[in-house]
Amino acid sequence: MLRMKDILDEKDKRLRMVSKEVEFPLTKKDKELIQSMIDYLHDSQIEELSEKYDLRPGMGMSAIQLGVPKRYFVVVNEIDEGEFETYILINPKIISNSVEKIYVEMGEGCLSVNRPVEGIVPRYARVTMEAYDMEGRKIHVRAREELAICFQHELDHLNGILFTDHIDKKNPFKGKDQYRAI
């Protein structure tokens, strides 16, 4: 079972690596890692399990956050109390996006950034991602609002980018009037 100690901290240089495309079929190790990521994200969003196993709540995780420089990420989105949708995106890319940009009013968070960070991270309000599923079939996923932000955040990880890189160091709330808060 994955634990917080398994997730790389922002100071770890591996988080700055650009992850490599995944070849199919997936290895047994990749399949096991994906399942571990799903389990962690699912359990971390259930308060009782999060406390029991000392898990920091998270919605998304990229392989690179576990030191594996491969282009895949997992998102476990709670759509209703105790009801989750799971997304596994392998070799993902954005194929279309909205003009409108939004940001998380409370600030974005990251399992690899273990400190509070204030500031605006502009993200597209809607994105369509093209990726592959675990069997190597091409899929298209449309996301909006919080889910779209999560997909963009995880895609950044695959390119060696942290959300903190998007925040203007001199003026963290720069652009607040130009984007919609969610």
pTM above 0.85, yes or no: yes
Catalytic site includes residue 154: yes
Q: Catalytic residue among 47, 78, 135, 154, which?
A: 154
Domain limits, the chain? 4-181
Residue-wise pLDDT tens digits, 138-172: 999 999 999 999 999 999 999 999 999 999 999 99
Residue-wise pLDDT tens digits, 33-90: 999 999 999 999 999 999 999 999 999 999 999 999 999 999 999 999 889 999 999 9
* Secondary structure (3-state) at 164: helix
Specify the pLDDT at position 82: 86
Helix (H) or strand (E) holding 53: none
The hierarchical CATH code for the domain 4-181 is: 3.90.45.10
> Is residue 49 within 8 Å of 96, Cβ to Cβ?
no
